[in-house]
């Protein structure tokens, strides 16, 4: 069962105002996430980086930053949506191998998670020490990918 709870976060409000001039509602979903490392190109056209902090979601726009919390161990990571999926019923998110490591999903393969939409923009990568010139997995954070 997926629970979607719209909330207006301060970060989402500030980010959306800074980049689009209008407020955006943040969504929270709870469900099952899995990890994947297949493919050479993601749905938005960039090269797939299995160790990047990215994820696949069925409907969130490319470049959206999400915070994912593993509800069984409390680990949290921020990921950028750059692909479509998951294509297995009952799952809400596929995370890259890099995201899976930080969430503690490598052994189990799946976990119950809470996914919170943070917004779009450069804040996600720059705030976490990612340089867009050297880390191509964050290319769409700095270029408007739709």
pTM: 0.67
CATH assignment at residue 48:
2.40.40.10
Range of the domain at 53: 31-128
Count of structural domains, the chain: 1
Q: Is residue 48 part of a domain?
A: yes
- DSSP string covering the chain: --EEEEE--HHHHHHHHHHHSS---EEEEEEEEEE----SB-TTSSBP-TTSSEEE-SSSPTTEEEEEEETTT--EEEEEEEE----STTEEEEE-HHHHHHHT-TTTSEEEEEEEEEEESTHHHHTTT--TTT-GGGHHHHTT--
pLDDT in tens, the chain (146 residues): 444 444 444 444 444 444 443 344 569 999 999 999 887 999 999 999 999 999 999 999 999 999 999 999 999 999 999 999 999 999 999 999 999 999 999 999 999 999 999 998 543 344 444 444 444 444 444 434 43
Q: Is residue 74 part of a domain?
A: yes
């Amino acid at each position: 069962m997926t629970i979607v709870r719209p909330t207006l976060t301060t970060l989402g409000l500030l980010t959306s105002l800074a980049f689009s001039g209008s407020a955006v509602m943040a969504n929270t979903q709870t469900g099952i996430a899995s990890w994947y490392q297949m493919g050479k190109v993601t749905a938005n056209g960039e090269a797939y980086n299995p160790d990047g902090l990215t994820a696949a979601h069925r409907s969130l726009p490319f470049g959206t930053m999400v915070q994912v919390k593993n509800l069984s161990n409390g680990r949290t990571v921020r990921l950028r949506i750059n692909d479509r999926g998951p294509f297995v019923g009952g799952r809400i998110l596929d995370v890259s191998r890099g995201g899976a490591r930080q969430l503690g999903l490598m052994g189990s393969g799946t976990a119950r998670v809470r996914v919170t939409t943070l917004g779009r923009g450069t804040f996600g990568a720059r705030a976490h020490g990612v340089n867009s010139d050297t880390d191509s997995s964050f290319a769409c954070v700095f270029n408007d990918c739709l």
